Amino acid sequence: MENMLQKMMNRFPLFIGMGFMIVVISLVIGVINATNAVDYYAVEKVARETLQEWANVRADVESTSIWLPYFKFFGLARILAGITTALGVIATKLMQMGKELIAYVPEQARLSVPDRPKSVMWMRMFMMMGMLIILAGFIVALITAGTAADLFSNPIAVIDTTTPGSELLDQLASVHAAESWLEAFKFVGVAFLFIGIVNGLTSIIFALQYQKKAMPQVVGNLPAADTSIELRPAPAVGSVM
C-alpha cells in the first residue's frame, strides 16, 4: 500500500498534465455551448419558446451548463492534487536526505530521526477526500444534466403552462434545487484540497525545523579532533514517508 502510494506520488506531473487537459477540453466544450446559445438567442422569442427544434437546442445548452463546471473543477482538482503530491515528494526527499546525511556522521554524533509526521497522513486523506467530493458532485451534476435535458427539450411555453404536480414541475424543481447546492459543494472539495496542500507544507516545515534543530547538535557532538571526516557511501535508506 505504502509503495503504491509512493509510486503514485512520484507521478505528480501526470496528474497536473491530465488536469490541464480536462480544463482545455472544458474550454472547447464551453465555446461550442456558447455558439449554441448564440444561435438560440438570435431567434425571436416566440419561435424559441414554442418550436421543438429550438427546445432541443436549449436542452443542450442548459444541460451542458450544469455538468461542464464540474468537469472543469474535476480538472482543477487534479492539478491541485498534483501540487499536493509534489509537496509530499519534497517533504519525502528532505527526510530521506536527512537520514542519508545522518548516516555519514560518526555514530557518537548521530541523532535519532523522528517518525513521519501525522501531517503526511492528513495530506493524503484530505487530497483524496477533496477528489472524491468533486467526483461525487460531477456524478450528481451528470444526473441533473440528464434531467435538465429531458425538461428543456419541451418548449418553454409547455413548461410555463404545466399543471401543479406534473412531472415537468418536479423536474424543474429538482434541477434548480440541485443547482444551488452543487455550486457550493464543489468549493467544499476545493477547500479539502487546500487543506491537503496546507498539510503538505506542514510536513516540509516539520522536516526543515528538525534539520535546523539537529544540525548544530550534530556539529556539537562531533569529536573535536576529527576535522577530516572521511566520506563513505551511506547505507541504503528506505523511503520514510
Q: Which is nearer to other proteins, 38 or 208 (CB)?
A: 208
Least distance CB 204 / other proteins (angstroms)? 6
Contacts of 170 (CB under 8 A, 6+ apart): none
User: Which chain residues interact with other proteins by CB under 8 A?
Assistant: 159-164, 169-170, 172-181, 183-185, 187-188, 190-192, 194-195, 197-198, 201-202, 204-205, 208-209, 211-212, 215-216, 219
R_g (Cα) of the chain, nearest Å = 28
- Considering the complex, state which of residue 190 and residue 237 has its C-beta at the smaller distance from other proteins: 190
Task: Compute the least distance from the CB of residue 57 to other proteins, in Å.
Answer: 21
Residue 83 Cβ, how far from other proteins at the closest point, in Å? 10
As measured in angstroms, the least distance from the Cβ of 132 to other proteins is 15
Decide whether 149 or 172 has the Cβ nearer to other proteins.
172
Closest C-alpha among 144, 141, 175 to residue 68: 141
Which helix (H) or strand (E) element contains residue 52?
helix 52-104
Closer residue to other proteins in complex, CB, 47/219:
219
- Is 116 strand, coil or helix? coil
Q: DSSP readout, 118-141?
A: HHHHHHHHHHHHHHHHHHHHHHHH
First to last CA, the chain: 12
